[in-house]
Amino acid sequence: MGFLSAQNKQLLYDFYEIPQSLLLNPGVKTPYKWHAGIPLISGIAVQAGTSGITVNDLFANDGLNFTDKVRDKVVNGLSQRDEFGASVQIDILNVGFRNANRPEDYYSFGMYGELSVTQYWPKDLAILAFEGNANNLNRRFSLSHLTTHGEALNVFHFGVNRKVNNKLSLGIRGKIYSSIFEAKSNSNKGYFVTTPGENNILRNTLVADVSLKTSGFQEIIDNDDSNQDIAGLLLGRAFFGGNLGLGFDVGFTHQLNKQTFLTGSLLDVGFIYHSKDVKNFTLEGTASNEGIEIILPESFDDLNSDIWQDLVDDIEAQVPFETNTDAYVSLRPIKLNASIRYNFGEQKQKTEDCYCGTNTDLSDNPFDYKNALGGHLYVINRPKGPQAALTAFYQTRIGKALALKGTYTVDKFTFSNIGLGLNFQAGPVNFYVLGDNLLGYRNIPDSHYASLQFGFNIISWNSN
């Protein structure tokens, strides 16, 4: 499954003045006749995060010994749930239009590319490498701490948003995933332990069930041609020439009363089937040894000079390192969004105040209220259990040209994430920029998280 890809985008979620909000909730309010993202720059999102430690923790000029800081803050300070990662998402094409015959339906389609990498901290293995096993007798160093993932893929999507009535909008989006490459290692099992020996001082035992699954790398490694040929190979995989998968998103917006809205979405319920250019690596078995036992021969001419190789061969026979090309399935990281929003600061009186019927009038002004505040819950399925973020937000509009959204988010990366989003509308031209964890920019080396999104669209709005 993807780890960091498509992280929490709380600034964009339910910011329905921006068409890209449809990618986070296919059932979001759609006050447009049509929209067209400017190709390649309609939506660019860059994110990077590290939990538990920052660059400043290690390299600050604080008079502390660097080795001591590595031992205290990294080796012993981090847990196996701490992670390092980055992701980039580019909205290559994004278009939407309203059905002329069924104006309650709004269709959107396009494609976007994703690149992400995540490494969980392998705590036990780091301690073993830093301290060794001599002073850690009887301690089991778990191999399950080894969890890593990296991938690049292209996503083609088509969605339908329907205004069922004046209180409810529903949406669904189908997706085709075209994987470019992937490498992942998770759900590993086993341990390494050192105990007192019987025939020697120490006895080492390795119990391993470890695997690394990859697709899309071997052809690149074996390719001795020009960079242009490699670029063509990657481009072909991005357009259905690689490993393919299917998925879907669903979402809704429900009006509880005149000013209160409840929204929710479930994203990336799907999978990718990897069968092309697959190479997997496995290490599975159990081995114990007490070192090399040397029996002195009657003459030095009989001394076996291959005793070290015999030891290596014996361990490899018990814990074989093997490769295979078996196909495998990667589940996409399912994401859940839910929010409640309260609008206030009415700018003009509606001509109709009834919100209880089945009328699907689409001419309602989406900017009847100047302000909105509320809360947003985000949960993503991760290899080491669900990961959640909770956001409080406030949004205000200045006329029809400018909208601002401020957020305060609590998640595993930081408890002081203040974000600010700006959406500017100049006639049909739409520009937005969304920045997360603004306090971290005061000292970037001491920041745990950074996120930036921006894009340009052309929008035709519904008549008021």
Per-residue confidence (pLDDT) for residue 456, from 0 to 100: 97
Give the percent of the chain with pLDDT over 90: 57
* Contact (CB, 8 A) for 344 and 371: yes
Task: State the residue for tokens 């399912």.
Answer: 334
The amino acid at 197: G
Per-residue confidence (pLDDT) for residue 3, from 0 to 100: 39
pLDDT tens, residue by residue, 143-172: 999 999 999 999 999 999 999 999 999 999
Q: How confident is the model at residue 356 (pLDDT cuts 50, 70, 90)?
A: very low
Q: Kindly write down the DSSP assignment for every residue of 148-190, as one continuous string.
A: EEEEEEEEEEEEEEEE-SSSEEEEEEEEEEEEEEEEEE-S-EE
Nearest-angstrom CA–CA distance, 144 and 243: 27
Nearest-angstrom CA–CA distance, 449 and 442: 12
pLDDT tens, residue by residue, 15-64: 999 999 999 999 999 999 999 999 999 999 999 888 888 888 888 777 78
- Smallest Cα–Cα separation from 409: which of 421, 417, 401, 397? 417
Per-residue confidence (pLDDT) for residue 196, from 0 to 100: 86
Per-residue confidence (pLDDT) for residue 6, from 0 to 100: 42
How many H-runs (helices) and E-runs (strands) does the chain carry? 6, 21
pTM, full prediction? 0.87
Nearest-angstrom CA–CA distance, 19 and 366: 13
Task: For residue 386, count other CB atoms closer than 10 A to its CB.
Answer: 10
Nearest-angstrom CA–CA distance, 239 and 51: 35
Most confident of the following: 82-91, 299-308, 345-354, 409-418: 82-91
Cα–Cα distance list, 425 to 30, 79, 95, 352, 464 (Å): 16, 45, 17, 27, 16
Q: Kindly write down the DSSP assignment for every residue of 24-88, as one continuous string.
A: T-TTS---EEEEEEPTTTS-EEEEEEESS--HHHHH--SS--HHHHIIIIIITT--TT-EEEEEE
Whether the predicted pLDDT of 294 surpasses 50: no
Whether the predicted pLDDT of 428 surpasses 60: yes
Per-residue confidence (pLDDT) for residue 311, from 0 to 100: 55
Q: How confident is the model at residue 348 (pLDDT cuts 50, 70, 90)?
A: low
| Mean pLDDT of all residues in 404-433 | 93
Per-residue confidence (pLDDT) for residue 198, from 0 to 100: 77
Radius of gyration of the chain (CA): 27
Nearest-angstrom CA–CA distance, 266 and 255: 19
Give the percent of the chain with pLDDT over 70: 87
Nearest-angstrom CA–CA distance, 22 and 461: 15
Per-residue confidence (pLDDT) for residue 120, from 0 to 100: 93
- Mean pLDDT of the residues in the chain: 86
Whether the predicted pLDDT of 357 surpasses 80: no
| Run of H or E including 107 | strand 105-120
* Contact (CB, 8 A) for 278 and 326: yes
| Mean pLDDT of all residues in 118-141 | 89
Per-residue confidence (pLDDT) for residue 8, from 0 to 100: 84
The amino acid at 49: G
Per-residue confidence (pLDDT) for residue 201, from 0 to 100: 77
Nearest-angstrom CA–CA distance, 248 and 172: 7
DSSP-derived 3-state class of residue 420: strand
* Contact (CB, 8 A) for 13 and 376: yes
Nearest-angstrom CA–CA distance, 261 and 267: 20
Written as six digits, the tokens of 67 are 């080795």
* Contact (CB, 8 A) for 453 and 45: yes
Q: Which of 89-93, 285-289, 379-383, 431-435 has the lowest mean pLDDT?
A: 285-289
Per-residue confidence (pLDDT) for residue 1, from 0 to 100: 40
Written as six digits, the tokens of 105 are 């339906």
pLDDT tens, residue by residue, 364-408: 455 678 999 999 999 999 888 888 999 999 999 998 899 999 999
